[in-house]
Amino acid sequence: MNRPDGVKLAVFDCDGTLVDGQHDIVAAMDEAFAALGMVAPPRADTTRIVGLSLPQAMRRLAPDQDETMQAALVEAYKQAYRNARVEGRIGEPLFDGIRDLLDALRGAGWDLAVATGKSDRGLVHCLATHGLSDHFISLQTADRHPSKPHPAMLEAALDDAMALAQDSVMIGDTSFDMMMARHAGVRAIGVAWGYHSARELVAAGADVVAQTPRHLQAILLEGNGA
């Protein structure tokens, strides 16, 4: 593959990094468990699995259930989330400062991509809602790849952008994102406004943890805070 010189790629997680989807995720999970006559996991347990593919998430949230029931929970969650979207109940607001960050990176010549545990449909809807569909050259989801922290999503984004691992960064709010970056040989940058603590992000391999989107912009464009 012929790679253009100077390609810089920033790959973002979505939930907990670009948008705050916590309320919607917890609500759909609660509905999924209720639909199958089960007690929903505590909110804290649900937020801990954000970023994983749904089958992986259900194995963690319902470890005592067999594969058939875990698969049923996956389908019940998808249906609950789909119903919420159709009924206009999905919010997923951008975190403050994210739009300015993305515009600044594009203006500085960075290519942008997303690697997320969301479905293709969910990610496309989310980005379109915020008018960000044209900001990203590669969209990688759990529909087409193994769950994080497997590096497949990140490697596909690198291929799409024709970028080298050493010229790229993975930006996310969970330890799964940081481990995925390490597996792919990409610089790992954590963000402090999502689901896992800064200490967990560093333990999982984060080179640095950005405290705000403006801090992240300084790290990437000004070399500050690294």
- The residue annotated as part of the active site, out of 13, 24, 111, 173, is 13
176 sits in which H/E element: helix 175-184
- What lies within 8 Å, CB to CB, of 74 at 6+ separation is 54, 55, 58
How far, in Å, CA of 148 to CA of 63, rounded? 19
How far, in Å, CA of 46 to CA of 160, rounded? 32
The Cα angle at residue 127 between residues 44 and 111, in degrees rounded to 5: 105
How far, in Å, CA of 23 to CA of 47, rounded? 10
Is 13 noted as a catalytic residue in this protein?
Answer: yes
Residue type for position 56: Q
Burial of 9 (0-12, 13-18, 19+ CB in 10 A): buried
Is 96 noted as a catalytic residue in this protein?
Answer: no
Active site residues: 13, 15
